[in-house]
């Protein structure tokens, strides 16, 4: 029995509920005919053991109503004799009498060992319980409730689940003396309720943010309560995720916006006009216009004060966003650069020349050219150790960034892998074949394929995942929620009426409590807009 199981047993016995079940009867006592006699009578050193038939007969007479058993006589019996006598006695009792015996006997075997331990040790023992068991432990007795409400105990449970300390907890640091409420426990319960809302809560009408007329929303960013959408109408719009109002329209590009990044109050955009622009999200002011590329800026990745841009001119450029200066130019690709990743130390790029390159931006040196794809590279992920590339050749390749070696080739998709996300060695890939796959990049194994009767009916356009869920969008006009661990379909979060006839969900971005979807169409069947769904809970 594990420690956690022992604690559960203790909780069960300490609660005031001693009604015995139907199974708790004389059958729980050792019967003489079920045990090896040599063991039962082994304590006798002289003579021979009495026969079972003789004992049974004698005890039957002994327990006739008119027979009285003296205490001294009972004490003189051997262990096996007492067991057999009790067995016979219980067989003759009514259920209510057996229940009374249990109520008298059971407390003798209860041991609240937690209350006997020093507080620090008791908390250590309780730390082995699952959160749901801690909630049950709090109902056992007053002292257990105090222990089970311990703030540090629940902080560790939150840490195990990846739950950060929310702002509302930081504002409630003062706890009244004698008040055992745990802010971290509240955070855990809040997150559990949020997860439940995602899974099966009522889908409230989303906020509808209309803008960009009938143009395509090409890029989407979501951070805090701020949403930024970029469009082929040459503008970006800054929205409030709380009110749904358009706070700013960023005007300045002379061509469509095809890439963007955001951090705090800084927005960076790349355009077909061959420039990047750095914007102040609060004021809408254009701080810098970055010149240098000779064709469309198709991709970018921001890290701290530097951004790396990739262009259809086959080059990459490293910029200082505070000064607007171009620090480095990385040349080596022979076709358009389609995707880029940057961790502050190395740049990884994928291009239409079928190649993936790893760069040292400070020396402008190509450290590795990762060869293996047989068609254009459209998507990249980089965690500092592994490079993952998705291609039009239908394969996904996992590379060692230090050696440049291909570790795994992930096969199973039937078309272009247009979107991927990598966290803690788990990769989720979305494909134009309408499927989504979950991979373990350490083993190269496909853990799940998100398909079945509820699968997307057209190309997957975007995806995002966390420790519990995978969210996917598609050209079929839906946004779907899946279970990351099992791969099971949970439900549709968005279903456009025009889905299947032109309505498309182009991009999605999600936080812990909100989902932002960029929707529209290319044939006029769906108005271009953003939908904001809220899954937060009120903890008042």
Q: Do 27 and 57 belong to one domain?
A: yes
The verdict on 99 and 156 lying in the same domain is no
103 and 144 assigned to the same domain: no
Cβ-contact 465, 459 below 8 angstroms: no
2 pLDDT above the threshold of 70: no
Average pLDDT over the chain, rounded to whole? 86
Are 18 and 71 in a shared domain?
yes
The C-alpha atoms of residue 129 and residue 8 are separated, in whole angstroms, by: 9
CA 167-303-227 angle, to 5 degrees, is 50
Is residue 224, in this structure, part of any structural domain at all? no
CA dist list (Å): 276 to 131, 296, 329, 334: 49, 10, 15, 22
Could you tell me if 85 and 154 lie in one domain? no
Percent residues over pLDDT 70 in the chain: 82
- Would the pLDDT of 202 be above 90? yes
Q: What is the pLDDT of residue 107?
A: 74
Phi-psi bin for 233: left (phi > 0), alpha (psi -120 to 50), beta? alpha
- Listed in sequence order, the residues at least 6 apart from 533 whose beta carbon sits closer than 8 Å to its beta carbon are 203, 204, 206, 493, 494, 514, 515, 517
Q: Which CATH number is 147's domain given? A: 1.20.1280.50
List, for residues 247-258, the tens digit of each pLDDT value: 999 999 999 999
pLDDT band (50, 70, 90) for residue 136: confident
The answer for residues whose C-beta is within 8 angstroms of residue 140's C-beta and 6 or more apart is 10, 11, 14, 15
Establish if 207 belongs to a structural domain: no
pTM as predicted: 0.77
pLDDT score, position 11: 55
Q: Given this model, what pLDDT does residue 115 score?
A: 80
pLDDT of residue 310: 99
Domain that holds residue 60: 3-39+52-109
pLDDT band at 62 (very low <50, low <70, confident <90, very high): very low
What residue has token string 């970006």?
A: 236
**Residues 160 and 66 occupy one common structural domain:** no
**Confidence (pLDDT) at 144:** 86
Using pLDDT thresholds of 50, 70 and 90, give the confidence band for residue 352: very high
Residue 443 located in a structural domain:
no
Residue with tokens 């045990």: 35
CB distance 348 to 383 below 8 Å: no
Identify the residue whose tokens are 């929303």.
217
In a domain? residue 162 = yes
Q: Which of 528, 527, 476, 468 is nearest to 500 (CA)?
A: 476
Q: Which two tokens stand for residue 503?
A: 């309505």
- In this structure, is residue 34 part of a structural domain? yes
Report the alpha-carbon distance of residue 171 to residue 175 in Å, rounded. Answer: 11
d(CA 380, CA 452): 27
Higher pLDDT, 107 or 271: 271
Q: Which residue intervals of 181-284 are DSSP H helices? A: 183-200
> Could you tell me the pLDDT band of residue 300, with boundaries at 50, 70 and 90?
very high
Residue 91 sits in the same domain as residue 152 = no
pLDDT tens digits for 374-416? 999 999 999 999 999 999 999 999 999 999 999 999 999 999 9
**Structure-token pair, residue 184:** 């971290």
pLDDT digits (tens, 9 = 90+) for 464-517: 999 999 999 999 999 999 999 999 999 999 999 999 899 999 999 999 999 999
Residues 6+ apart with CB under 8 A from 56: 32, 84, 88
Look at residue 47 in the predicted model and tell me its pLDDT.
42
Extract the tokens encoding 269: 């955009």
Q: Is residue 504 situated within a structural domain?
A: no
Same domain? For 9 and 63 the reply is yes
CA distance 339 to 356: 9
Q: In this structure, is residue 228 part of a structural domain? A: no
Same domain, 137 and 73: no
For residue range 257-269, what is the model confidence (pLDDT) as tens digits?
A: 999 999 999 999 9
pLDDT in tens, 353-374: 999 999 999 999 999 999 999 9
Largest CA distance in the chain: 112
Tell me the pLDDT tens digit for each residue of 64-81. 444 445 556 667 788 888
The helix or strand, by DSSP H or E, that contains position 492, with its residue range, turns out to be: strand 489-495
- C-beta separation of 277 from 311 below 8 A: no
Q: Is residue 505 part of a domain?
A: no
Banded pLDDT at 139 (limits 50, 70, 90):
confident
Task: Kindly state the tokens that stand for 217.
Answer: 């929303």
Label residue 449 exposed, middle or buried (CB < 10 Å: 0-12, 13-18, 19+).
middle
DSSP string, 255-299: S-EEEEEEETTEEEEEETTS-EEEEETTT--EEEEE---SS-EEE
Picking from 60, 77, 109, the residue at the C-terminal end of a domain is 109
* Residues 281-289, mean pLDDT to the nearest whole number: 97
Instruction: Report percent pLDDT > 90 for the chain.
Output: 64
CA 17 to mean position of chain CA atoms:
37
Average pLDDT estimate for 295-300: 99
More confident residue, 529 or 106: 529
| Adjacent-strand bridge partners of 452 | none
- What is residue 89's predicted lDDT score, i.e. its pLDDT? 87
pLDDT tier at 3, thresholds 50, 70, 90 = low
Same domain for 34 and 95: yes
Q: How far apart are CA 252 and CA 247, in angstroms?
A: 16
Q: Say if residue 19 is in the same domain as residue 82.
A: yes
Q: Are residues 142 and 194 in the same domain?
A: yes
The domain tally of the chain equals: 2
Please, are residues 268 and 277 in contact by the beta-carbon 8 Å criterion? yes
């Amino acid at each position: 029995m594990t420690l956690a199981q022992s604690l559960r047993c203790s909780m069960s016995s300490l609660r005031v509920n001693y009604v015995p079940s139907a199974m708790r009867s004389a059958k729980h006592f050792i019967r003489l005919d079920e045990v090896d006699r040599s063991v039962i009578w082994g304590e006798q050193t002289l003579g021979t053991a009495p026969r079972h038939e003789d004992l049974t007969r004698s005890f039957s007479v002994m327990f006739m109503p008119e027979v009285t058993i003296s205490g001294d006589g009972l004490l003189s019996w051997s262990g096996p004799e007492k067991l057999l006598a009790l067995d016979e006695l219980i067989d003759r009792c009514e259920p209510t009498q057996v229940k009374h015996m249990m109520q008298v006997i059971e407390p003798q075997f209860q041991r609240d060992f937690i209350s006997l331990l020093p507080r620090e040790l008791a908390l250590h023992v309780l730390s082995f319980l699952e959160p749901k068991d801690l909630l049950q432990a709090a109902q056992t007795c007053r002292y257990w409730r105090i222990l089970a409400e311990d703030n540090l105990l629940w902080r560790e449970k939150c840490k195990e689940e990846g739950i950060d300390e929310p702002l509302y907890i930081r504002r409630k640091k003062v706890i009244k003396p004698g008040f055992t409420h745990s802010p971290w426990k509240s955070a855990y319960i809040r997150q559990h309720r949020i997860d439940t809302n995602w899974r099966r809560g009522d889908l409230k009408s989303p906020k509808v943010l209309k803008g960009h007329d009938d143009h395509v929303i090409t890029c989407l960013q979501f951070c805090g309560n701020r949403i930024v959408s970029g469009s082929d109408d040459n503008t970006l719009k800054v929205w409030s995720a709380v009110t749904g109002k358009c706070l700013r329209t960023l005007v300045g590009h002379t061509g469509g916006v095809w890439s963007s990044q955001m951090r705090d109050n800084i927005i960076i955009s790349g355009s077909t006009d061959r420039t990047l622009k750095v914007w102040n999200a609060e004021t809408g002011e254009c701080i810098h216009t970055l010149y240098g590329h000779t064709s469309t800026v198709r991709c970018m990745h921001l890290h701290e004060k530097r951004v790396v841009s990739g262009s259809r001119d086959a080059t990459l450029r490293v910029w200082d966003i505070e000064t607007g200066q171009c620090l480095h130019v990385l040349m080596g690709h022979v076709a358009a650069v389609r995707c880029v990743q940057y961790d502050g130390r190395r740049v990884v790029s994928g291009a239409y020349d079928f190649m993936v390159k790893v760069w040292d931006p400070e020396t402008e040196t190509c450290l590795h050219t990762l060869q293996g794809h047989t068609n254009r590279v459209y998507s990249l992920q980089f965690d500092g150790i592994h490079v993952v590339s998705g291609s039009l050749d239908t394969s996904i390749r996992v590379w060692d960034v230090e050696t440049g070696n291909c570790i795994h080739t992930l096969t199973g998709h039937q078309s272009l892998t247009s979107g991927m996300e990598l966290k803690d060695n788990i990769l989720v890939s979305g494909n134009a074949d309408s499927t989504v796959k979950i991979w373990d990049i350490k083993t190269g194994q496909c853990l799940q394929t998100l398909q079945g009767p509820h699968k997307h009916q057209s190309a997957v356009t975007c995806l995002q995942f966390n420790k519990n869920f995978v969210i996917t969008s598609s050209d079929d006009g839906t946004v779907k929620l899946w279970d990351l661990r099992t791969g099971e379909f949970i439900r549709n979060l968005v279903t456009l009426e025009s889905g299947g006839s032109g309505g498309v969900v182009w991009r999605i971005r999600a936080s812990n409590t909100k989902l932002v979807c960029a929707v529209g169409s290319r044939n006029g069947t769906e108005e271009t807009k953003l939908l904001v769904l809220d899954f937060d809970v009120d903890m008042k």
